[in-house]
Amino acid sequence: MVRAFSHQWPPIIQGGMGVAISHWPLARAVSLAGQLGVVSGTGIDTVLLRRLQDGDVGGHIRRAFAASPWPDLANKILSRYFRPSGRLPDQPYMRLPLWNLESNYWQSALAMLGGFAEVWLAKFDHPGQVGINLLTKVALPNLAVLYGAMHAKVDVVLMGAGIPREIPGALDLLASNKPAALRCDVVGLSPAQSPWIRFDPTSYETISQAPLKRPAFFPIISSYSLALVMSKKATGAIQGFVIEGPTAGGHNAPPRGAKQLDSSGQPVYKERDVVDLKAVAALGYPFWLAGGYGFSGALEVARAQGAAGIQVGTLFAYSEESGMAADLKQQVLTAVCAGFASVRTDPLASPTGYPFKVVDMENTLSTTAVYKARQRVCDLGYLREAYSNAQGDVSFRCPAEPIANYVEKGGRLEDTVGRKCLCNALMASAGIPQHQSDGTVEPVIVTSGDAIAHIQDLLPPGCNSYSAKEVIDYLTKGL
């Protein structure tokens, strides 16, 4: 069965890499080149806040805010957070309260305006298509971010790191400016007992209440069973899939079955972890293959397997337009060209419990010395899990927070081993690290797909950088 879809999507999707690696300049460059540019919406409220405190270099946020449907709200945010001269070199960023089920009007407003600004800037003054990527695990801000992105006419929503079954229905409601809700997964409570994460668009007065364009929804999946769930049991319509293998960067789905590690401590993936592409194709939706498809000729390989195209992250992550801190980007490129770049799948790094790809590099959280030297603090909290506490209320904890705090909240001591604060580390990788009260600066972590060596194809002798357009030319060569 092939479903009838009126929309023709580009063959290349640029991966939505957070935090702020897939920022609007990268998505815009990819979109202008005729492919699907994708911005990351993960932590966008904090990203927005820090950009404003750094002086809004180039005036881009203010330009987007001037076009927003919430002018009064935008002006209040600027009055509170914008620093025309930026911060002092060692001055900490102002912090937002951690998200919870009762997060306030102001918190959701920052997420909403952040989602709007990022998509609006990526789409400004051209007809190309732009998507937004969010993590299902980071559930609390997602509805607000999506509503803001929809006001900027986002074309596609892509979500993985969980089962985003309720998102399609939420998109339908938000497109009609109606309240939407997602079930909050709570350790110790059944789904029927779990509370709702609610967002009411009518709380924010806009210039117009006209219906919004409902974006397409592409869940990011790693198995046929998940494709079946999303096609049959989602709360609304989906329009396609991104099928991601375990060689992709960032979070990976854990191997199916009993946990098994190889001699280097990495998860072992077996034949049962390979997605049945023929079965997925029989569901009738277009799909894009991700994880290890960042090489010239990959489009032909993917199409031969029935795919509409490929999603590529790693090659774009080190392009000139990406949001990675410039010195960090150059450090990785130098290591790649020297043949020293090494990527491993760390089963412990992520507080989510999902395997996470890490580039082994000096002076980053990938090294034992840097990891042990960092004082544990949880001041962003995007990856915390909700749990039912002794009083029967819903609280939040993270295995990367101070160990005593986590154990006091009922967490297991063994779950804290090797856990890294990805929230702070990924902000640092995007060039906006927090300066902590003890005088330390949050260290970075670098994530990439296993196929990082293909970057060498884009760096002939004498070159130390490449553009997003060059990535696309490389991927489409001969087609």
The pLDDT tens digits of the residues spanning 428-464 come to 999 999 999 889 999 999 999 988 999 999 998 877 9
CA distances from 450 to 126, 312, 315, 340, 354 (A): 34, 12, 11, 13, 16
The pLDDT tens digits of the residues spanning 269-279 come to 998 999 999 99
CA distance 465 to 334: 10
The pLDDT tens digits of the residues spanning 144-171 come to 999 999 999 999 999 998 999 999 999 9
- Comparing 11 with 105, the larger pLDDT belongs to 11
**Mean of pLDDT values over 199-204:** 94
User: φ, ψ for residue 245 (rounded to 5)?
Assistant: -90, 170
pTM as predicted? 0.96
Q: Per CATH, which fold does 12-324+458-475 belong to? A: TIM Barrel (3.20.20)
Flag the least confident range among 10-14, 207-211, 451-455.
Answer: 207-211
pLDDT bucket at 236, cuts 50 / 70 / 90: very high
Q: Does the bond joining 19 to the residue before it have cis omega, within 30 degrees of 0? A: yes
**Mean of pLDDT values over 237-253:** 93
pLDDT bucket at 193, cuts 50 / 70 / 90: very high
The pLDDT tens digits of the residues spanning 86-104 come to 999 899 999 999 999 987 8
**Mean of pLDDT values over 332-360:** 93
CA distance 115 to 23: 11
pLDDT bucket at 3, cuts 50 / 70 / 90: low
User: φ, ψ for residue 100 (rounded to 5)?
Assistant: -150, -175
pLDDT of amino acid 4: 45
Q: Is the pLDDT of residue 54 over 90?
A: yes
**Mean of pLDDT values over 282-297:** 96
Instruction: Note the Cα 151 to chain centre separation in Å.
Output: 20
CB 387 within 8 A of CB 187: yes
CA nearest to 142, candidates 168, 112, 162: 112
pLDDT of amino acid 391: 92
pLDDT bucket at 340, cuts 50 / 70 / 90: confident
pLDDT of amino acid 86: 97
